Amino acid sequence: MKRHKVMIGETILYQAAQLSHAESFAAARRAEGIDCHVVPDTTKKVREVRINPLTGKPRRRKGQDREMSASR
């Protein structure tokens, strides 16, 4: 899950899964006079390969299936 952070200097004030929630929280704190900034989470989630139990081969991802049929 993504963790977008609202920070005051080096201190984490708030964490949100959605960037829009973190931005609105930061805007509310700025309206109260608290100087803070949003740090978006840029990490990519690494997914492990899923093996098809019937064939023993890795499962195709959704986008790969269309590319394979278009090249035939």
Read off the pLDDT of residues 13-72 as tens digits, 9 standing for 90 and up: 999 999 999 999 999 999 999 999 999 998 888 888 899 999 999 988 776 655 555 555
Domain boundaries of the chain, sorted by first residue: 1-43
What integer pLDDT is reported at residue 64 of this predicted model? 60
What integer pLDDT is reported at residue 27 of this predicted model? 96
64 token code pair: 């790969």
What integer pLDDT is reported at residue 15 of this predicted model? 95
Rounded CA separation 38/5 (Å): 6
One-letter amino acid of 27: A
Report which of 24, 48, 52, 50 is spatially closest to residue 38, judged by C-alpha positions: 24
Inter-residue contact 6 to 29 (CB < 8 Å): yes
Tell me phi and psi for residue 25, to 5 degrees.
Answer: -65, -45
What integer pLDDT is reported at residue 71 of this predicted model? 53
Per-residue pLDDT band for 2 (boundaries 50, 70, 90) equals confident
